[in-house]
Structure 1
Amino acid sequence: MSNKIKCSHILVSKQSEALAIMEKLKSGEKFGKLAKELSIDSGSAKKNGNLGYFTKGMMVKPFEDAAFKLQVGEVSEPIKSEFGYHIIKRFG
């Protein structure tokens, strides 16, 4: 397993919002477009949710645990952290 991965995420405050976004993704809407429109993480939202590369220890534990389990191209179910609910997509 790589010790450095690249992910994007969509961050929302409520689980119901995250579940609604999951439905939009399943119906074919683009991850980056939804991140730009709906994510409350203003820094990454401007970049289609892109967080760039990171290693273990750089992100909050629930996010990190989920992100490192994903395969490239895979999208997580909503992950709760102290910041809200993340939907994570791994790119590399």
Structure 2
Amino acid sequence: MNRASNAGSRFAFLLWFTSSLLLVVGMVLPMFSFHKFYIFNDTFSLLGSVTYLLQEGEFFLFLILFAFSIALPLYKMGLSLLLVSHAIK
């Protein structure tokens, strides 16, 4: 029984690691791409959009986008890491 629960805990940690890696990749890779006149191409990632809003002084939109797209998912990943690490012990 202990061996099975240890394997389940390792699998849970593997799932956590994979999901956190995909979260970071999703924040960094482009999510929008605009093509204008076949010459100008603009691509935006989530982190790029958030930093752009901060640089342009759009603090309200920055706070909303940062809170719900970056801070809250990272907080949830931290809590799930605590749960997974507690399950491993």
TM-score normalised by L of structure 1: 0.26
Structure possessing the higher radius of gyration over alpha carbons: 2
Richer in helix (by share): 2
TM-score normalised by L of structure 2: 0.26
